[in-house]
């Protein structure tokens, strides 16, 4: 085998590491290179034999040593490549055919897929951003529990009938539909909750915080979503297309003193606050992640990013990076 052919095999290994070639493609190319090596080796041997003279014992011995050295080098290289390709193939993820394919070279075993941060459980869904999601809402002790409700930017829960414009921390209320937004407005230009107004950070501490609008969009795009039930509690289940891990979002509705006392539309819908302000209007709304059941709305089941009045009480699902 020539130096050029050995270099080609090393290049194949690098292309496999980068995910440019599959294991099967690399194997076919390796066999082609080896066939060329055999042909080249035979040709070189014939040339050496043709150059030998009956009385040139030193030349014959040197030729044999050179041939033995080349053969041992080829065997060693092929053995290393065979072990490497076998290990890479065993690491491939065998998932649901409907999900996105797990690419060769991705190493899911390099870090744990779940754990705790400041005493609160999280799961790694393999998202491109690296964001880890909490397994429960703030105030809940299990994934299917509702937990606590918060107005956007407030860090304390309230009585059920206080989730409205007249009791909202950042509205200076003058009357129905008559209020001034005193923070996160056109003047201060704040568009994402400061940590002092972030309920996840204030309550859980450490690196915990509310997810941004973009992080909820990433979650939705990289998971397969389906309705399920735990006992009598309906949940919206997100299963990662990347590594198969999952989290549950209970359908816990929301609070507003405009329409009802108690969680409104629980069991059929819910929305979860993001930390991102809606700046397209009067700065009175913030973005949320909402989902609903098709039987209730006569539309396709699903979820979306939408805007809701900041004074409404909604659950929070924390994240950290």
Residue-wise pLDDT tens digits, 64-77: 677 766 766 666 66
Q: Is residue 168 a contact partner of residue 151, using CB atoms and an 8 Å limit?
A: yes
Same domain, 85 and 127: no
Residue 83 belongs to a domain: yes
Residue 56 belongs to a domain: yes
Residue 104: pLDDT above 70?
Answer: no
Residue 202 belongs to a domain: yes
Residue 70 belongs to a domain: yes
Looking at 90, 105, 128, which one is the last position of a domain?
A: 90
Question: Nearest Cα to 163, choosing from 316, 318, 315, 314?
Answer: 314
Quickly state the pLDDT bin for 202 (edges 50, 70, 90).
Answer: very high
Mean of pLDDT values over 133-137 = 98
Same domain, 163 and 83: no
Same domain, 63 and 160: no
pLDDT digits (tens, 9 = 90+) for 253-311: 889 887 554 565 666 788 999 999 999 989 999 999 998 876 554 445 578 999 999 99
Residue 184 belongs to a domain: yes
Same domain, 228 and 301: yes
Same domain, 251 and 214: yes
Same domain, 147 and 261: yes
Residue 108 belongs to a domain: no
Same domain, 219 and 302: yes
Domain that holds residue 35: 3-90
Q: Is residue 234 a contact partner of residue 251, using CB atoms and an 8 Å limit?
A: yes
- Check residue 95 and give its pLDDT: 37
Residue that the structure tokens 């008559």 belong to = 178
Residue 304 belongs to a domain: yes
* Both structure tokens of 115: 């754990």
Q: How far apart are CA 179 and CA 162, in angstroms?
A: 16
Contacts of 132 (CB under 8 A, 6+ apart): 117, 122, 123, 124, 319, 320, 321
Same domain, 141 and 246: yes
Residue 107 belongs to a domain: no
Looking at 56, 90, 124, which one is the last position of a domain?
A: 90
Give the count of domains, the chain. Answer: 2
Beta bridge partners of 235: 228, 250
Same domain, 154 and 83: no
Beta bridge partners of 320: 132
Looking at 58, 75, 90, which one is the last position of a domain?
A: 90
């Amino acid at each position: 085998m020539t130096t050029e052919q050995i270099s080609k095999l090393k290049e194949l290994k690098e292309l496999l590491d980068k995910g440019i070639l599959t294991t099967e493609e690399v194997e076919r190319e390796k066999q082609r290179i080896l066939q060329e090596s055999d042909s080249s080796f035979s040709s070189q041997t014939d040339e050496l034999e043709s150059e030998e003279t009956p009385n040139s014992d030193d030349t014959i011995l040197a030729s044999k040593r050179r041939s033995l050295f080349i053969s041992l080098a080829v065997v060693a290289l092929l053995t290393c490549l065979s072990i490497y390709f076998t290990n890479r193939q065993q690491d491939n993820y065998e998932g649901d055919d409907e999900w996105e394919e797990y690419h060769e070279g991705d190493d899911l075993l390099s870090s744990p897929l779940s754990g705790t941060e400041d005493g609160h459980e999280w799961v790694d869904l393999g998202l491109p951003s690296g964001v880890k999601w909490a397994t429960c809402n703030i105030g809940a002790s299990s994934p299917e529990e509702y937990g606590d409700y918060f107005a956007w930017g407030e860090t304390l829960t309230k009585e059920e009938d206080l989730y409205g414009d007249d009791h909202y921390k950042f509205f200076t209320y003058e009357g129905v539909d008559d209020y001034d937004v005193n923070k996160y407005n056109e003047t201060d230009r704040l568009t994402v909750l400061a940590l002092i107004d972030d309920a996840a950070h204030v309550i859980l501490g450490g690196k915990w915080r509310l997810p941004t609008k973009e992080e909820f969009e990433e979650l939705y795009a990289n998971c397969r979503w389906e309705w399920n039930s735990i006992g009598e509690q309906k949940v919206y289940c997100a299963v990662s297309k990347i590594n198969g891990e999952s989290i549950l979002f209970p359908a816990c509705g929301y609070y507003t003193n405009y329409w009802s006392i108690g969680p409104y539309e629980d069991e059929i819908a819910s929305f979860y606050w993001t930390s991102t302000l809606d700046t397209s209007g009067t700065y009175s709304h913030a973005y949320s992640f909402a989902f609903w059941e098709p039987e209730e709305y006569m539309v396709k089941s699903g979820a979306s990013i939408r805007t809701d009045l900041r004074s409404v009480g909604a659950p929070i699902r924390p994240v950290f990076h």
